[in-house]
Structure 1
């Protein structure tokens, strides 16, 4: 058994104010209740919300606050994310901080939720990290999960646990719960998907095991949940198959299939180009209407 305790903090945060004092206080209480937790994961953009006026360069004051949290409680902290400004561009960026308070890496969201998350630049690098004597962890943010290639690459890099902060306050949250379970099963890994509540999301965070099973699904109110996972379950699943059955990572490794959509220029197919621009929908529906009717 390789036990590791992760806390998912589904907090009620504002999209406009500085939420860091509140997050500090909630973490203090959480660690008072559950001092055996070794890592905490906040939701996407929990610190300041999706507010470009609060964008900070990294390192910066908000990140230093998270570093102090980690060092105070001697835990790993996944910051959720904040709006980072770098070379005049805005990124949706999370930091991973070790129990000494050191930032060991940052990840910039690869798939901003366009066209709604307009003004956010796409990140271009995957990020995995090792917890000594435990295992390898990978990170992604919110809409990244909708693109199965992101989780597959992290698993191919050896990630056994995917830490996935999100800010979902829309009616597609039920679909995301299915995607989280599917990603866990097809990549034979733990999936820790943490949403916020209030302005920070509609809750329903989910923690999934390497068989795609639900370890815990949160409700729609604030919840702070400690969960001990066993990374040996991932290694066993990848060795003998999910529930002793499918071995998708080995099959992916051994496959001779070349997917043409991933070849240079493969995404520029006639059909994909026919879908039109990536833009917000306009008012009213054109479904089933010809030009004469619309006129």
Structure 2
């Protein structure tokens, strides 16, 4: 396996206007500055922003423009994701394009950010692809990585590098950074996480190695970060252990038991008790106040006479 250079582009994303021309400009700048780069990755929903009304059919003009750009520069190109309109559904879909400008594969995000990513249908298939003579790559999008089964499946399928476009502008970004490190270490792989800015996120893109250590972390400004990966480190980690210690992939392989929670049709009463997957509302606070009022009246019947509490 030979070294392989990937550049992440952390750029401002508009929710109002198309960002495609700016993406092409950023790509031109990247390849002018760093002609040795072999793959370029953009953030989630970079092309048209985070609103589902931009959904379009795939294949379509977005892919065609990205295919032309990949062929022009002779690179692998992962232009983030766009909302895909297909058979009455909307998916959050990523495309992988090779240096000949050909679409190698597509991936539909398996875990939309419910209950916030409203109206988006989950994908159902995992995505790995080969860069000949280099490595096998896996594709994950944003909230997918919060479910360790997704990245573990990619690793079991042979992925040595996980490409992870994301669009996170919320206060849990620091939690995500810890998940990136954990997923890299637990699956003994490179993890290349690219976030956007403004309507596309709050930055802090992160690249980690197969021991979970940070190779590079961006800040909250526009950045192009080219990183040369030594794929041999993945092989050595998986053969000899993380820092020559734990060997999680081998241990997972050799585990004799079964994880019963994943069996088809199994009853999961605790999970069922958690309630529906909906956004929290002010009604939750009101319900708590009413409960407090009820408890107060029950425990203090005399003092509560004439007490109007919070009821309307």
- TM-score normalised over the length of structure 1: 0.97
CA distance in structure 1 between the partners assigned to 2:157 and 2:31 by the alignment: 31
Structure 1 partner of 2:7: 7
Structure 2 partner of 1:270: 269
CA distance in structure 2 between the partners assigned to 1:257 and 1:234 by the alignment: 27
Structure 1 partner of 2:291: 290
- How has the CA–CA distance of structure 1 residues 289 and 216 changed in structure 2, closer, same or farther, with 3 Å as cutoff? farther
> Which consecutive unaligned segments of at least 5 residues does structure 1 have?
none
2:236 is the counterpart of 1:233 = no
2:209 is the counterpart of 1:213 = no
CA distance in structure 2 between the partners assigned to 1:253 and 1:67 by the alignment: 38
- What SS does the corresponding residue of 1:212 show, helix, strand or coil? coil
CA distance in structure 1 between the partners assigned to 2:53 and 2:147 by the alignment: 29
2:217 is the counterpart of 1:199 = no
Q: How does 1:239-250 map to 2 (within 5 A)?
A: 239-250=239-250
CA distance in structure 2 between the partners assigned to 1:16 and 1:55 by the alignment: 13
Could you tell which deviates more after superposition, 257-266 or 82-91? 257-266
CA distance in structure 2 between the partners assigned to 1:288 and 1:232 by the alignment: 58
> Which consecutive unaligned segments of at least 5 residues does structure 2 have?
296-309
CA distance in structure 1 between the partners assigned to 2:59 and 2:218 by the alignment: 32
The alpha carbon displacement at 1:54 in A equals: 1.7
The alpha carbon displacement at 1:289 in A equals: 6.5
2:169 is the counterpart of 1:169 = yes
Q: How does 1:89-104 map to 2 (within 5 A)?
A: 89-104=89-104
- What SS does the corresponding residue of 2:193 show, helix, strand or coil? strand
Q: How does 1:52-201 map to 2 (within 5 A)?
A: 52-201=52-201
- TM-score normalised over the length of structure 2: 0.92
Aligned length: 294
- How has the CA–CA distance of structure 1 residues 287 and 139 changed in structure 2, closer, same or farther, with 3 Å as cutoff? farther
**4+ runs deviating over 2 angstroms:** 284-295
CA distance in structure 2 between the partners assigned to 1:15 and 1:161 by the alignment: 30
Deviations 1:230-278 (A, max 9, x none): 1000000000101111000000000012111101123x41111110000
Structure 1 partner of 2:47: 47
CA distance in structure 1 between the partners assigned to 2:38 and 2:290 by the alignment: 57
Deviations 1:81-124 (A, max 9, x none): 00001111000000000000000000000000001001000000
2:12 is the counterpart of 1:17 = no
CA distance in structure 1 between the partners assigned to 2:258 and 2:52 by the alignment: 41
Could you tell which deviates more after superposition, 255-264 or 122-131? 255-264
CA distance in structure 2 between the partners assigned to 1:196 and 1:5 by the alignment: 20
Q: Is the 8 A contact 2:50 2:200 kept in 1?
A: no
- What SS does the corresponding residue of 2:5 show, helix, strand or coil? strand
- What SS does the corresponding residue of 2:202 show, helix, strand or coil? coil
- What SS does the corresponding residue of 1:290 show, helix, strand or coil? helix
- What SS does the corresponding residue of 1:151 show, helix, strand or coil? helix
CA distance in structure 2 between the partners assigned to 1:189 and 1:289 by the alignment: 50
CA distance in structure 1 between the partners assigned to 2:80 and 2:239 by the alignment: 32
Aligned Cα root-mean-square deviation (Å)? 1.3
